[in-house]
Structure 1
Amino acid sequence: MPNSAQFKEVEDGTMWKIAIIDDERQVLHGMKRAIPWDKLEAEWVGEALNGEDGLTMIRASHPDIIITDIYMPRMNGLEMIEQLRKEGFEGKIIILSGYSDFEYARQALRFHASDYVSKPISMPTLKNILTRVIQELGEEEGKRKRQGELETKMSLYEPLIEKEWVRSVAIGTLDQAYWGDDHLPPPYRYWLNRKHIAIGIELIRNKQACRMSVSDWNLFRFAVSNIACEIARKLFPDVEFTELHSTRSLLILHPEEEEGGEPFVKKLEELGTMLAESIGSYLKLELRIGIGSLKQVWTKISESTEEAFRALDQSAERLASVYEVYRYRENQGSEQDNVSLFPVKLSFKLANAIKSSQEAEAHQLLDEYMCLMVEQKGVSPAVVQMLASELWGIITYSLYETGFLMDELFTNDQIAKEIGALYVPDQLTQWLKDKITKICSSKQWKGKSKHRQVVDFMTSYIHEHYAEELTLAELSDKVFVSRNHLAIIFKNMTGETFNNYLTRVRIEKARELLLEGNMLVYEVAERVGYKNIPYFSTLFKKVTGMNPTELTK
């Protein structure tokens, strides 16, 4: 095993060495082709399809910069990085991830990653990142930084994960180990001298909204965030906005210590009214506003978030006569108030699990919630049914974001009847589990028409462009579906991954060309998109069971 002395210390005049690790070979080839090596004074020194092979390659080639994915077979990117740091690797690491997640970003910083970027990434963005990282290497040339120096330079919460950090605070998923005031990122240190209140925003899916495509709906949500922040900052200068799921989002306000009482309530009413008026006027969308209670410390923001949406669920104290602006009523003492504060935290996780077809994770979340429910004594059938309706709405809207309409599988009358027959928490949990299982295993989910159209386009495109550098990211831009979800759709519809399908198309075409006998093996390889002849031969034998030379005899 190498030690720190074995890793390269940059010498004057050398080219910067870059290695790429990604489980999609087309991504590797695409970056190798697109990176302006000469302009960056850099050279490619190796590639790998998983973290385990990446370790071997890095130990041999000693790159200055590593570009790596997180989700890979055999050993993921974070595990590889952790091992490299243990061995003393002090080079720069750029992480490309298809997931936006605070915990992953936090781990990346713990291992001193230079950047954490969500896929798909444009080449100009990657070039800018590499330029910055190489500039940093130039400034560090001639001396190796101790790991402690780098750790001091980089705080736990860099700007690249601040949005995820804010959302984690808002919904209560931030690990309690990071609740101390000393863990507040520098931009949010002012929170220590402020009060805090959460404003929940729920878009109502009226007839116009129901007619929108998923891409249009996402554009409208983006517009809502811009309008909401612009309006809120007129009344409260310090504001954060974070998306939750589908129809719900959140404003976090930080009023001065002296603000409070009736004037403050009037100010909140004004904010709610302005939001409803502006979004209704500009976007023709209806919304409901829920206002949590004022909290003295930032670690209670998630409680205000729960209260904000509980105010909506209960249609609590209405502040505006024309618009639906509700304020949470403290000490209401109703049975619903005594039910565990689950919705925002659970619904956020549940929505993500449903959208990514993670059936086991969704079931686990429901089991965890069940453990909380059993602690509540005497939960009435009315509350069980209220929770069932709310969670069913979360599932419905989450699937809509993927293009799946629930009425393809269940009728509203059927769901209403089944919810009416739920009386105890156990029934609620099992009912939801059964529904999730049925959705994930249904033909509609695996082969619904909208997904079929997307996959038909993808397969046609592959057959027409198989010789080109095709990537899932490129196709995701063409069909306006996220790369991760597109991978799931393609696998569900075809039974194989995008890369496997592309490989199969290329090899089948290669076999046709070889059987014609007019071309040499290397010419066929290049004709179907492979410049690496040994790799082509390996793939050909793997798919067909024979070497390509056997067909040229």
Structure 2
Amino acid sequence: MWKIAIVDDENQVLQGMKRAIPWDRLESEWAGDALNGRDGLEMIRTADPDIVITDIYMPIMNGMEMVEQLRKEGYQGKIIFLSGYSNFEHARQALKLQVSDYVSKPISIPTLTKILGKVIKELEEEEGERKRQGELEFKLSLYEPFIEKEWIRSAAIGTLNQAYRNIAYLPQPYHYWLSRRHVTVGIDFLRDERAGNLSVADWNLFRFAVSNIACEVTRKLFPDMEYTELHSTRAILILHPEEDSREMLENRLKELGIKLANSIGSYLKLIVRIGIGGLRDVWTEISESTEEAFRAIDRSAGRSITASEVYFYREDYQWEQEKIALFPVKLSYKLATAMKLSQEAEAHHLVDEYMTLMKNQKGTTSANVQMLAGELWGIITYSLYESGMLLDELFTDEQVAEEIGSLVVPEQLERWLKGKITTICSSRMWKGSSKHRQVVDYMTSYIHEHYAEDLTLAELSEKVYISRNHLSIIFKNLTGETFNNYVTRVRIEKARELLLERNMLVYEVAEQVGYKNIPYFSTLFKKVTGMNPTELIK
């Protein structure tokens, strides 16, 4: 109901309008009245009507003065001026005060009703626009964390577009970066015998746990920090230390590295390498510190050491004399992205780019080649898992392990890797017309946006104009899993994120992701993750 107030010093006029206005037809209600501008001002402040009908000439405070004061106080309602005089100056002032209408007395009820109808229509349109704007802002708020997370990762690894590497595009929460120094800490999981037996899904669970441990440990020593994951076995901490001396900072970083390694090892039984890059004065050079952090790890004496260690990057190292570094962070990310998008040519190009660097290195051993093959394969399998694709139907773990063990020289690694990329990109998971891929992309996006709703394949088939049975086949061929399994996995992944945030109870999380039956939710959760919700929280 729209609220309408009336201010007029002629009580007969005021009461006449109150009786004659067709309130029900206009879906409106009377909000209050007053006989002068001063009383009208107080009444409007209290009642906050949507529309004010007011005379101009009144004792104590006239209508123009009253509205001027209301506008100064921020009142946004609609104003309709009534006047027994035709005055150009008053009309001009009314325009300045954003008045909806200016009419002369006497005014007939049909005319007043027509004016009120016009003003109410304006209010409805504005209300609709505010609602649409609110919905848009809400949707943007949902996507903002993902956009922000991707921005941080791009800044950390050097894939941020050059146009966005200036102050104008630095997100507001990170403006403090401008007055700080920066250093990157690389976290690298060692694939020992135990870790090597973990499935890709298990690795994903461990990565969630590592992120919680890493952030909790780090914030105690460096409150200003960001954590972002890379593909496969690596993650990054970006720190912004205060003005410590170099020696004090190095001691704090070493303490952090030891605590990270010990905590992850103690809670998850994982062996990690911690690499610490060089200190940078400007945020656009954070990616250089990232490369240095993993370079420091890669120069360690092999990846089969059985204890977690911390490595510092040193500018005086003769890196060109060291053994080949593992796949550089930036290239690693680009390869993962190319595989997600099934860009076979781009993936081959990235392999060529890296192999050129590798072949120029002296003293590359078969152990180095096999180690690199394992790392590159890990990047590919994990990136595809993030896109909802498992490679179990194409390759077995035993087959891949045997093939990697037979690689001796870089040329063999290059042929093997390119062959795997071609097989993956041409497999049935990526077959189908461009139109079919667009349909499945739409479906997966829709699922990620509406996972908490009651989603059915029949509903989506109507949206994309493809029969339900045919759509089911297309979806399975391109994603490798059924529609219902995909929806379940998206819901459980979201539930896992919410549970790890520890802001909601299990039943609240279940409802948030679309399950009203809590036991059924717990059963599905355990089936997908291998543990029930309570175990995950612990």
Give TM-score, length-normalised by structure 2. Answer: 0.49
Give TM-score, length-normalised by structure 1. Answer: 0.48
Larger C-alpha radius of gyration, 1 or 2? 2
